Structure 1
Amino acid sequence: MTIRPDPTFHASPVLAMDAAPETLAYTLMLSPDATKPDGLAVVDVNPASPNYGKIVHTLFMPYRGDEFHHFGWNACSSSLSPLNGHPFRERRYLIIPGIRSSRIYIVDVKGGPTAAKIHKIIEPEEVFAKTGYSRPHTIHCGPEGIYVSTLGGGGKDGVSGPPGIFIMDCETFDIEGRYEMDRGEQDKHYDFWWNLPRDYMVSSEWGLPPQFENGLVPQDLLSNKYGHKLHFWDLHGRKNVQTIDLGANHQMALEVRPAHDPVKEYGFCGVVVDTTNLEGSIWTWWRDKDGKFQAKKTAVIPPEPADAANLPDLLKGFGAVPPLVTDIDLSLDDKFLYVACWGTGELRQYDVSDPMNPKLSGSVHIGGVTRRTNHPSGKPFKGGPQMIEISRDGKRVYWTNSLYSSWDDQFYPEGVPAAMVKADVGPNGELTLDKDFYVEFPEGYRSHQIRLEGGDCSTDSFCYPSAR
């Protein structure tokens, strides 16, 4: 504990944008066949460094079969909340859950890029006993603790009861228990985030463990059995106050990205695929004057026609590659929304200054099921743009290429060796791939989510409006 707030905590998004740029990135590595332990790579992202674009430290876990997916900080700018805040915590620990093992690692990164070490391990039996949930997924640091979403309920297959959210103590890392007092009709889970001063949370849906652990289940997709709803919550009351069904054909409503400025009561959700036409889509949700939430499809991304001979077995019957919107991320100034089209190998940038009318403002292609576009350095990039992270100042966008091991194998059967790349953002929003930034990982690994030193655009929740 410090006697002053951590200098990486910022009251408003604009203050965070003005902070010093990141010099390190923390990237998860997973062993798709579980023959090796998963790990954490510390990447040098300082252009002035001789190690720019290189891994300067790795930390591997003592177990195998965890399948690292998403992770987050123990504390962030939400600690500055005047309600139940812990302003003197440090942004020091990374909370890394294993989505297959339900084991959680607490990693201490204080002391420099080569000092990362395991601080604590929470075994799956403790997660099961204290929450009844399994398959921990997304981490968000809140004012009073660490929130962890899960993709599975109880039982071996994770279908004994619905998944949900549980809370951990932000100092001891003890599991305190389930979040929900009244979940309403919520019976699947994926992502969640909130507007702290307005005291509401929004969550989304993917599917239950039998629908994703061994790969995409085609009959479930074509029968519209994956998630397609947004759930809105009274954050402190811990109850579901409204659910919006986006339509059963809008399968897999994944990442939710509220506006960073808490004055703005809107946000975005990415939908993987429309089963009627293979489109991906972006939805804008907002709260109207009477307190009710609304949602509207505001952008669509069409599939790309393709010769069946060039398609994996899963797609041969469709004669096209769906964009597969698997991640979205919003810049801190709430101006640009980045959309990962993992199937077509495209990273799209939308100007969302008007959140109801996103306008395509930039695009780069790399990887893709049929395009297979190389990095500008000439190096291959398998898979497609997947987990996105944006620098606080909005000038750099980083991403990796693996979605989930069993899904990687279905859509990219030739393999998805780990890669991490970066694009620079021009003054008007255009994107340019950095030919000098291509991170090479240990052989046999895949790469997933990225966290940036000092916070990033999918980490922090801000408590005060921006002054400009």
Structure 2
Amino acid sequence: MTRWTPDPTFYPSPRDAAGAPAEQLAYVAAFDRSARQPDAIAVVDTDPASDRYGSVVGWTDLPHTGDELHHFGWNACSSALCPTAPHPHVERRYLIVPGLRSSRIYVLDTKDDPRSPVLVKEIPAEELASKAGYSRPHTIHCGPDGIYVSALGGGSTDGPGGIAVLDHTTFEVRGQWENDRGDQYLAYDFWWHLTRDVLVSSEWGTPSMIEDGLVPELLLGRKYGHRLHFWDLAKRTLVQTVDLGDQYQMALELRPAHDPRKEYGFLGVVTSVEDLSASVWVWQRAGGEFTVTKVIDVPAEPADATELPPALQPFGAVPPLITDIDLSVDDRFLYVSCWGTGELKQFDVSDPLHPVETGSIRLGGVVGRVAHPSFPDERLAGGPQMVEVSRDGRRVYVTNSLYGSWDDQFYPDGVGAWMAKIDVDIENGGMTLDPRFFPHGDEFRGRRVHQTRLQGGDASSDSYCFP
């Protein structure tokens, strides 16, 4: 008799995941803004006992140029244990890596040698367009019944954006996820409450609105995304849309509670056109309807116009630009990256409607250019951007590039490439930079770095169906 043993990195509950072994490796998207070199997946040693700790120990070049790797994810995760659509025979083995600019999707196998991922499949842009009607794949989530891929653009048009689904096993494009999208047109992130059959999606802009940089006329005209959409996950239909108000531009990252008994989550909003502040919001459901409430405001910081890039000189201030958020697996700490000011904030969100700031670290920043303690004389560009939290909540990893053309607007003298690790006091809150961990510069071979995924899973990879 054949007995299936689930992948040991799959966990039925958040508590089980938080007790998992520490990651030994981190996978990092590295892209060449000039498109002269191929983009790559860099592999970084995260084992403090290793003599290569904090160094790039593996590298996989992709076969083309001009992909602009951005977000990527695992083919399978703890959601495979969910009873509604169990797939316990799949493994967390493959990295699904989209090119945001090229619309290609790559499948890399990490099993035989985790330090040297091997390309095993390429899904061309034409296949994504013809089978799902989408382009510019952005975010990957491993669902219980397939691999979900958000996309910013239509297959042959600028929009609407939406979600495509890939097969768990063959990685074939199954098709478009939505049955009825209502008036949803802009797309960006998506997540779900699996036990409640709810999917949540957010909005950025179509390819023409973002690919050549932030368009001031669109921003001031309040044309970027400012709505949250709530869907019936099983029926794939739009149920409710909540408008935050069009002054809140670019409603981006979504982080639902990991506890499957909870039906709330956090949303990061890049900026308000009224005062350049950034904000974090909470969605929750009461009486059958979802409401969205602003719970964190981060104000812009005044600055001398001579220190600002041309895009910001008329305002005399640096906007925080909340470009990523991440929630620890125990749902206690929310991390908020303020890429413009170069700050990573930590909030205790045990009471999600009343966050309490418990820590702050600065690196880089449009004006500050704060150095890392291991290289105190090196003024850094960029700032904490993509944030990834270990399953046990004790380690946070940040990288510094937002998006190629947007990097160039806010850091016109160059953004460089760096990655930092932060140690967390999980009992009391608070953060400390690890002076031993700072891969940067030439280690990334002239590429910029964006998203990080941790070997065995991380706080933004998995969904759980058991409390």
TM-score by length of 1: 0.97
| CA distance in 1: counterparts of 2:447 and 2:234, whole angstroms | 40
| CA distance in 2: counterparts of 1:147 and 1:236, whole angstroms | 14
The alpha-carbon deviation at position 3 of structure 1 amounts to 2.5
- Which residue does 1:350 correspond to in 2? 347
| CA distance in 2: counterparts of 1:408 and 1:425, whole angstroms | 28
Could you tell me which amino acid in structure 1 is paired with residue 416 of structure 2? Answer: P
C-alpha contact (below 8 Å) 1:2/1:88 kept by paired residues? no
| CA distance in 2: counterparts of 1:310 and 1:145, whole angstroms | 48
User: Which one of 438, 443, 446 corresponds to residue 444 of structure 1?
Assistant: 446
SS at match of 2:38: coil
- Which residue does 1:382 correspond to in 2? 381
The alpha-carbon deviation at position 114 of structure 1 amounts to 2.9
SS at match of 1:78: helix
- Which residue does 1:335 correspond to in 2? 332
The alpha-carbon deviation at position 444 of structure 1 amounts to 1.7
C-alpha contact (below 8 Å) 2:60/2:116 kept by paired residues? no
SS at match of 1:211: helix
Residue 464 (structure 1) aligned with residue 461 (structure 2): no
| CA distance in 2: counterparts of 1:8 and 1:14, whole angstroms | 13
- Residues 28-53 of structure 1: per-residue CA shift (max 9 Å, x gap): 00001101000001110000110100
| CA distance in 1: counterparts of 2:3 and 2:303, whole angstroms | 57
Displaced runs of 4+ in structure 1, greater than 6 A?
none
- Which residue does 1:53 correspond to in 2? 54
- Residues 48-107 of structure 1: per-residue CA shift (max 9 Å, x gap): 110100111100011000000000000000000111221111000000000010000000
Gaps of at least 5 residues in structure 2 are: none
Question: Which structure 2 residues correspond to residues 268-307 of structure 1 after superposition, within 5 A?
Answer: 268-288=266-286, 290-307=287-304
C-alpha contact (below 8 Å) 1:2/1:90 kept by paired residues? no
- Which residue does 1:70 correspond to in 2? 71
| CA distance in 1: counterparts of 2:121 and 2:81, whole angstroms | 26
SS at match of 1:127: helix
Question: Which structure 2 residues correspond to residues 138-217 of structure 1 after superposition, within 5 A?
Answer: 138-155=139-156, 158-159=157-158, 161-217=159-215
| CA distance in 1: counterparts of 2:257 and 2:177, whole angstroms | 23
Identity %: 59
C-alpha contact (below 8 Å) 1:96/1:106 kept by paired residues? yes
- Residues 339-387 of structure 1: per-residue CA shift (max 9 Å, x gap): 0000000000011000001111100000000000000112443201100
- Which residue does 1:309 correspond to in 2? 306
C-alpha contact (below 8 Å) 2:4/2:88 kept by paired residues? no
The alpha-carbon deviation at position 442 of structure 1 amounts to 2.8
C-alpha contact (below 8 Å) 2:364/2:383 kept by paired residues? yes
Could you tell me which amino acid in structure 2 is paired with residue 452 of structure 1? Answer: L
- Which residue does 2:419 correspond to in 1? 420
| CA distance in 1: counterparts of 2:395 and 2:205, whole angstroms | 32
| CA distance in 2: counterparts of 1:9 and 1:319, whole angstroms | 49
Question: Which structure 2 residues correspond to residues 117-136 of structure 1 after superposition, within 5 A?
Answer: 117-136=118-137
SS at match of 2:182: coil
Gaps of at least 5 residues in structure 1 are: none
Q: How many residues were matched structurally? A: 461
- Which residue does 2:404 correspond to in 1? 405
| CA distance in 2: counterparts of 1:181 and 1:273, whole angstroms | 32
Task: State the Cα RMSD in Å.
Answer: 1.1
Could you tell me which amino acid in structure 2 is paired with residue 11 of structure 1? Answer: P
Question: Which structure 2 residues correspond to residues 223-234 of structure 1 after superposition, within 5 A?
Answer: 223-234=221-232
SS at match of 2:435: strand
Residues 2, 450 of structure 1: CA spacing in aligned structure 2 closer, same or farther, 3 A cutoff?
A: farther
Residue 86 (structure 1) aligned with residue 87 (structure 2): yes
C-alpha contact (below 8 Å) 1:55/1:439 kept by paired residues? yes
| CA distance in 1: counterparts of 2:445 and 2:58, whole angstroms | 15
The alpha-carbon deviation at position 449 of structure 1 amounts to 0.3
The alpha-carbon deviation at position 113 of structure 1 amounts to 3.1
SS at match of 1:416: coil
- Which residue does 1:373 correspond to in 2? 370
SS at match of 2:296: strand
- Which residue does 1:395 correspond to in 2? 394
The alpha-carbon deviation at position 2 of structure 1 amounts to 8.6
C-alpha contact (below 8 Å) 2:195/2:260 kept by paired residues? yes
Residue 363 (structure 1) aligned with residue 365 (structure 2): no
| CA distance in 1: counterparts of 2:27 and 2:115, whole angstroms | 11
| CA distance in 2: counterparts of 1:459 and 1:167, whole angstroms | 17
SS at match of 2:20: coil
| CA distance in 1: counterparts of 2:314 and 2:186, whole angstroms | 29
C-alpha contact (below 8 Å) 2:29/2:40 kept by paired residues? yes
| CA distance in 2: counterparts of 1:2 and 1:193, whole angstroms | 32
C-alpha contact (below 8 Å) 2:325/2:337 kept by paired residues? yes
- Residues 403-456 of structure 1: per-residue CA shift (max 9 Å, x gap): 000000000011111111011001311011111100133332100000001100
| CA distance in 1: counterparts of 2:361 and 2:116, whole angstroms | 35
SS at match of 1:16: helix
- Which residue does 1:453 correspond to in 2? 455
The alpha-carbon deviation at position 170 of structure 1 amounts to 0.5
- Residues 267-316 of structure 1: per-residue CA shift (max 9 Å, x gap): 0000000100110000011011x211000101100111000000000000
C-alpha contact (below 8 Å) 1:2/1:89 kept by paired residues? no
TM-score by length of 2: 0.97
| CA distance in 1: counterparts of 2:74 and 2:262, whole angstroms | 24
C-alpha contact (below 8 Å) 1:368/1:383 kept by paired residues? yes
C-alpha contact (below 8 Å) 1:417/1:443 kept by paired residues? no
| CA distance in 2: counterparts of 1:321 and 1:416, whole angstroms | 16
Could you tell me which amino acid in structure 1 is paired with residue 288 of structure 2? Answer: G
| CA distance in 1: counterparts of 2:423 and 2:142, whole angstroms | 28
Residues 393, 35 of structure 1: CA spacing in aligned structure 2 closer, same or farther, 3 A cutoff?
A: same
Could you tell me which amino acid in structure 2 is paired with residue 300 of structure 1? Answer: D
Could you tell me which amino acid in structure 2 is paired with residue 292 of structure 1? Answer: E
Could you tell me which amino acid in structure 2 is paired with residue 342 of structure 1? Answer: W
SS at match of 1:14: helix
C-alpha contact (below 8 Å) 2:148/2:165 kept by paired residues? yes
| CA distance in 1: counterparts of 2:18 and 2:348, whole angstroms | 18
